[in-house]
């Protein structure tokens, strides 16, 4: 079996057509990557950048729970929090930060690709300072 020239091009095209993000140029076989189902972009509604406070984000679905904590610190842009690795389905996401009104969104739907891996859903959590609530 030869993987040079025209054969490599056909294999690469097959990998793209298969719909698997992690297929290699020489194979359309799905590889065991761990993929976040949800990417939460957290910003302060007042400043447009991530809050300086520690952030706790929680994804839940029936009996499933996943959480991630981001330490407090000065931010120069939005904060991304990744949740529910390798999961699919409909989730609720809650984001908590001291000094901000709790944020929640239901029915965040994560589907799967041809490799049965999640297609990451992106959501924006604009946190409102509790003093302006």
Residue 89 region, left (φ>0) first, then alpha (ψ -120 to 50), else beta?
left
The answer to whether domain 38-132 has CATH 2.60.40.1120 is yes
Q: Provide the pLDDT for residue 116.
A: 87
Q: Provide the pLDDT for residue 108.
A: 95
State which residues of the chain have pLDDT below 70.
1-28, 132-133
Domain locations in the chain as residue ranges = 1-32, 38-132
User: pLDDT tens, 1-33?
Assistant: 443 444 444 333 333 334 455 554 445 577 777
Q: Which of 38, 22, 19, 29 is nearest to 80 (CA)?
A: 38
């Amino acid at each position: 079996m030869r993987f040079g020239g025209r054969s490599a091009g056909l294999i690469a095209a097959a990998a793209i057509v298969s719909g698997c993000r992690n297929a290699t140029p020489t194979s359309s076989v799905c590889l065991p990557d761990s993929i976040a189902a949800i990417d939460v972009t957290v910003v302060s509604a007042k400043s447009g950048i991530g809050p300086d406070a520690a952030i706790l984000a929680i994804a839940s679905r029936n009996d499933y729970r996943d959480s991630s904590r981001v330490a407090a610190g000065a931010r120069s842009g939005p904060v991304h929090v990744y949740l529910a690795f390798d999961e699919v389905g409909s989730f609720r996401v809650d984001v908590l930060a001291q000094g901000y009104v709790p944020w929640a969104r239901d029915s965040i739907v994560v589907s799967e690709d041809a490799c049965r891996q999640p297609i990451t859903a992106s959501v924006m959590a604009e946190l409102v300072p509790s003093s302006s609530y």
